[in-house]
């Protein structure tokens, strides 16, 4: 699924016709990422290609697989320190963007979670009466 991302790091001589392309970039003078979408034309083939990209982006494993490709390429270029720095930045950003209540639920003692469990509307013992 992410073979194309791997190919991004390696230049190729042959030029293939691109049906659809979605690019994210951050400019030097901008803080927010910019989105650029290119489609060859408005045919079903191009729209199917764009839909395939959008499904890949929304998949839960997209970021993880992309990160693995980036780290593999950084390490193969003897840039281990850059790979570690990238992971540290992602980890810090994840912790600051994650709601405090979510983190507290992850770190909460399992016995505390059981005591906070919701009771069923109708208890099984009530059904036996």
Task: From first to last of the 129 residues of the chain, give the pLDDT tens digit.
Answer: 555 555 555 555 567 889 999 998 999 988 888 999 999 999 999 999 999 999 888 887 888 888 899 999 999 999 999 999 998 888 877 767 666 666 666 667 666 555 566 776 777 777 776
For residue 86, count CB atoms less than 10 angstroms from its CB and return exposed for 0-12, middle for 13-18, buried for 19 or more: middle
**Per-residue tokens: 43:** 């045919």
> What's the confidence (pLDDT) of residue 110?
61
> What's the confidence (pLDDT) of residue 123?
72
Q: Which long-range contacts (CB under 8 A, 24 or more apart) does 22-28 make?
A: 22/50, 22/53, 22/54, 22/57
> What's the confidence (pLDDT) of residue 30?
87
> What's the confidence (pLDDT) of residue 58?
84
> What's the confidence (pLDDT) of residue 101?
65
Please state the separation of Cα 87 from the chain's center in Å: 13
What CA–CA distances, in Å, run from 12 to 6, 16, 109? 12, 10, 53
């Amino acid at each position: 699924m992410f073979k194309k991302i791997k190919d991004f790091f390696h230049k190729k001589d042959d030029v293939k016709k691109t049906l659809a392309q979605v690019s994210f970039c951050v400019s030097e003078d901008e803080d927010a990422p910019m989105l650029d979408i290119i489609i060859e034309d408005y045919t079903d083939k191009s729209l199917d290609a764009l839909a395939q990209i959008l499904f890949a982006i929304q998949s839960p494993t997209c970021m993880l697989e992309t990160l693995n490709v980036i780290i593999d390429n950084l390490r193969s270029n003897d840039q281990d320190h850059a790979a570690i720095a990238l992971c540290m930045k992602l980890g810090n950003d994840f912790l600051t963007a994650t709601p405090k209540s979510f983190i507290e639920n992850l770190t909460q003692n399992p016995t505390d979670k059981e005591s906070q469990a919701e009771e069923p509307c109708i208890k099984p013992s009530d059904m036996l009466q």
